[in-house]
């Protein structure tokens, strides 16, 4: 059984121009992804490839004008958007990327306690304090406002908030960019540890190199559809073990691999 | 630590008082210049209806007695001197010192303005919240349309309309004044006062409500589209939970700032509303003073409203800082220590 199974998920948005002309804006054009218990699956692609949109769809966060098709299965249960709202925060959690995901006018402690209550924890105050403590943050951080945190501290607060309960699926949306090597590794190690405990982790990133050591599989997406699934150990040398030309082009375009940009027509 | 906080607080207060003094000086000069260059003839105002009966010699005597022929700078100096001693002059319209007229009239207006201000704040914030949360839906369209309609409706017209519907047609509210006509002051009870206050206050609040609605709606829309609301929703927060825990405080800061800085418009609106309802407040006194060319009273009211609007703005700053921690505890001054500490802890 898989923790999370996404089959041919498409999302498009209906817009009305000047109130009359109906226009459909495509978002996702066919995403496939599955994560087994104990797995970290990296979802890699350029910005605009639909990675974050996938996260929003899985959490039931799409706006009312979104039209969706395909299947999202959570632990064998086919979840309609309303079911996904029910899972959000308890069974399926989001680990967001930056300090803008914290409310600027509420103290950090109040926000963590609220998250703990939503996650269904019995003692939100104790959970908040211990969640911060586990990430090396003292109790005085509880009384601070987001703008009084350094970038690294804010990210640790986000990790503490996202991983309060015992989720079955963690969707981490770009959790490492901008962090120092050490902090980034701490976040990835924690995600790895949660997976080893039986969680399914989706690691959304455009940083292929950072994702490789902690991931079990790499899913490559481009323009709203998944194009390839590769094993981390295939990303080696000149990329000769990578089957899909787009994946190979992504690998070869990395600075360490010669920053080679694909010739026109090679990828398409 | 405490002494430095106290010292910076005192410095801030001193800075604000200095700003008020400079503002008052500028308003005093501008009002005086307007007064000197106005076509109002002080002698005919002073003498009143008997002006035809006095000859040129008597005019000259009065002018000399009151110092009308002195250079403007000297007259300004004399006026300013009196002003500093608390003497605002004498109002011929009300046959009372200007200070007393303003004090009495302002107290009457205060009830009206306070009720209107609270009504427009509460109703405006509530409607803005509703519209912002239901953005793009019918409710939002209706509220926004209504706010734009009100924003473009003149106060006196709204007042006349309400007067026609509620006082003339339905007969629910009195036609005029702050108290029942022909009743001794001691026998007027609170209920009577509220009854008379109702329609003018509603008129005044209806006009003030539109900007609060539109600004609150905008702040709510921005908050609802923010990353922190997306994260709260990802935590399983319902729409009502989002509004209560995330949106309310974020939208309150700009709304409160706006509400306090609207004291100027509130006073401007009361001039018209009080005129329509013959409500004997400061606004109506302003109109009477203008029509009767009562210069001392007009100057006094100009200075008084300057202080009034200034106090409103200062309170707005305070309340805004109280609601928004980024203003109250900015990163660059007081927060710098905190942030430096945060970085040090990070390194450790």
pLDDT in tens, B3-42: 787 888 888 889 999 999 999 989 988 988 888 788 777 7
* The pLDDT of residue B136: 85
Mean pLDDT of B321-332: 81
Q: Give residue A206's Cα distance to chain centre.
A: 11
Q: What is the mean pLDDT of chain B?
A: 84
- Do residue B198 and residue B133 come from a single domain? yes
Q: Is B174 inside any structural domain?
A: yes
Computed from CA positions of residues B313, B317, B322, B323, in that sequence, does the dihedral angle turn out positive or negative?
Answer: positive
pLDDT at B131 over 90: yes
Q: What is the DSSP string of B268-305?
A: HHHHHHHHHTT--SHHHHHHHHHHTT-HHHHHHHHHHH
- Do residue B15 and residue B142 come from a single domain? no
Q: Is A147 on the interface with B (CB under 8 A)?
A: yes
Of A56, A145, A152, which is closest to B325 when you measure between CB atoms? A145
Q: Based on the structure, what is the number of domains in chain B? A: 3
Residues of A in contact with B342 (CB under 8 A): 148-150, 153
Of B227, B250, B323, which is closest to A101 when you measure between CB atoms? B227
d(CA A55, CA A42): 13
d(CA B255, CA B259): 6
Residue A64, phi then psi, degrees to nearest 5: -60, -25
- Do residue B141 and residue B191 come from a single domain? yes
B 220-249 near A (Cβ less than 8 A): 226-228, 230-237, 241, 245-246, 249
How far apart are the CA of B228 and the nearest CA of chain A, in angstroms?
4
Run means of pLDDT, 10 residues per run, chain A, 268 residues:
89 79 82 92 85 90 88 89 89 91 94 93 91 90 92 90 92 87 87 92 89 91 88 84 86 78 53
Q: Which residue of B has its CA nearest to A87?
A: B236
Q: Does residue A105 sit in helix, strand or coil? A: coil
Provide CB contacts within 8 A for A248, sequence distance 6+. Answer: A239, A242
Q: Which residue of B has its CA nearest to A63?
A: B225
* The pLDDT of residue B347: 55
- Do residue B169 and residue B127 come from a single domain? yes
Q: Among B231, B240, B247, B256, which would you mutate to test the A interface (most chain A Cβ atoms within 10 Å of its Cβ)?
A: B231
Q: Is A144 on the interface with B (CB under 8 A)?
A: yes
Weakest-pLDDT range from A193-202, B28-37, B276-285, B338-347? B338-347
Complex ipTM: 0.89
Q: Which residues constitute the domain of residue B149?
A: 104-341
Q: Is B347 inside any structural domain?
A: no
Q: Is B348 inside any structural domain?
A: no
Q: Which residue would you say has higher pLDDT here, B294 or B237?
A: B237
pLDDT at B337 over 70: no
pLDDT at B336 over 50: no
Domain boundaries, chain A: 1-91+168-177+185-233, 98-166
- CB count within 10 Å of CB A249 equals 18
- Do residue B170 and residue B301 come from a single domain? yes
Query: What is the CATH architecture assignment of A1-91+168-177+185-233?
Result: 3-Layer(aba) Sandwich (3.40)
- Do residue B27 and residue B151 come from a single domain? no
* The pLDDT of residue B342: 56
Q: Among B134, B235, B324, which would you mutate to test the A interface (most chain A Cβ atoms within 10 Å of its Cβ)?
A: B235
Q: What is the DSSP string of B63-90?
A: HHHHTTTS-HHHHHHHHHHHHHTT---E
Weakest-pLDDT range from A59-63, A120-124, B82-86, B102-106? B82-86
pLDDT at B51 over 80: no
Q: Is B31 inside any structural domain?
A: yes
- Do residue B122 and residue B266 come from a single domain? yes
* Cβ pair A56:B230 closer than 8 A: yes
* The pLDDT of residue A216: 93
Residues of B in contact with A116 (CB under 8 A): none
Mean pLDDT of B310-334: 83
CA atoms within 13 A on the CB side of B136: 8
- Do residue B210 and residue B257 come from a single domain? yes
Over residues B159-216, the pLDDT tens digits come to 888 888 888 888 777 777 777 776 666 667 777 778 888 888 888 888 788 889 999 9
Weakest-pLDDT range from A2-11, B41-50, B223-232? B41-50
* Cβ pair B233:A161 closer than 8 A: no
């Amino acid at each position: 059984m898989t923790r999370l199974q996404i089959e041919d998920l498409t999302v498009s948005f209906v817009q009305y121009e000047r109130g009359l002309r109906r226009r459909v804006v495509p978002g996702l054009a066919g995403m496939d992804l599955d994560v087994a218990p104990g797995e970290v699956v990296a979802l890699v692609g350029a910005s605009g490839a639909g990675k974050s949109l996938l996260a929003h769809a899985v959490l039931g966060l799409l706006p009312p004008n979104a039209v969706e098709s395909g299947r999202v299965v959570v632990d064998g249960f086919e979840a309609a958007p309303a079911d996904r709202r029910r899972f959000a925060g308890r069974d399926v959690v989001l680990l967001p990327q930056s300090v803008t995901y914290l409310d600027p006018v509420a103290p950090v402690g109040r926000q963590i306690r609220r998250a703990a209550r939503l996650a269904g924890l019995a003692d939100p105050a104790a959970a908040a304090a211990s969640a911060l403590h586990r990430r090396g943050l003292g109790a005085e951080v509880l009384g601070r406002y987001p703008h009084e945190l350094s970038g690294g501290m804010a990210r640790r607060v986000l990790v503490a908030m996202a991983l309060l309960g015992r989720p079955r699926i963690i969707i981490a949306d770009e959790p490492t960019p901008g962090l120092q090597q050490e902090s980034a590794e701490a976040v990835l190690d924690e995600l790895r540890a949660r997976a080893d405990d039986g969680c399914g982790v989706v690691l959304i990133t455009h940083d292929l190199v950072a994702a490789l050591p902690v991931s079990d599989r790499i899913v490559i997406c481009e323009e709203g559809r998944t194009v390839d699934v590769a094993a981390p150990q295939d990303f080696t040398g000149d990329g000769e073990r990578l089957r899909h030309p787009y994946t190979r082009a992504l690998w070869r375009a990395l600075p360490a691999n010669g920053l080679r940009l694909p010739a026109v027509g090679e990828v398409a | 630590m405490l002494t430095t906080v106290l010292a910076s607080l005192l410095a801030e207060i001193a800075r604000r008082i200095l700003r008020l003094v400079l503002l008052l000086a500028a308003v005093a000069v501008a009002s005086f210049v307007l007064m000197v260059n106005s076509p109002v003839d002080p002698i005919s105002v002073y003498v009143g209806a008997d002006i035809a009966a006095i000859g040129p010699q008597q005019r000259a005597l009065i002018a000399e007695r009151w110092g009308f022929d002195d250079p403007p700078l000297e007259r300004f100096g004399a006026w300013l001197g009196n002003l500093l001693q608390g003497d605002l002059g004498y109002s011929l319209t009300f046959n009372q010192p200007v200070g007393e007229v303003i004090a009495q009239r302002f107290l009457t207006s205060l009830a009206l303005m306070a009720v209107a201000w609270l009504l427009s704040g509460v109703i405006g914030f509530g409607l803005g919240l509703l519209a912002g949360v239901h953005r793009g839906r019918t409710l939002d369209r209706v509220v926004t349309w209504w706010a734009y309609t009100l924003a473009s409706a003149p106060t006196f017209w709204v007042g006349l309309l309400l007067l026609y519907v509620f006082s003339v047609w339905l007969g629910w509210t009195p036609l005029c004044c702050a108290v029942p006509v022909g009743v001794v002051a001691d026998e007027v009870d609170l209920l009577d006062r509220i009854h008379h206050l109702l329609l003018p206050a509603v008129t005044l609040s209806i006009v003030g409500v539109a900007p609060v609605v539109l600004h609150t709606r905008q702040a709510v829309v921005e908050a609802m589209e923010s990353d922190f609301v997306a994260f709260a929703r990802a935590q399983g927060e319902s729409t009502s939970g989002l509004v209560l825990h995330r949106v309310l405080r974020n939208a309150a800061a700009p709304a409160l700032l706006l509400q306090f800085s609207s004291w100027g418009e509130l006073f401007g609106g009361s001039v018209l509303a009080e005129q329509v309802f013959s409500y004997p407040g400061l606004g109506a006194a302003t109109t009477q003073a203008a029509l009767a060319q009562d210069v001392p009273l007009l100057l006094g009211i100009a200075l008084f409203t300057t202080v009034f609007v200034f106090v409103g703005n200062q309170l707005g700053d305070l309340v805004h800082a109280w609601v928004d921690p980024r203003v109250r505890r900015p990163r660059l001054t007081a927060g710098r220590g905190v942030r430096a500490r945060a970085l040090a802890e990070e390194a450790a």
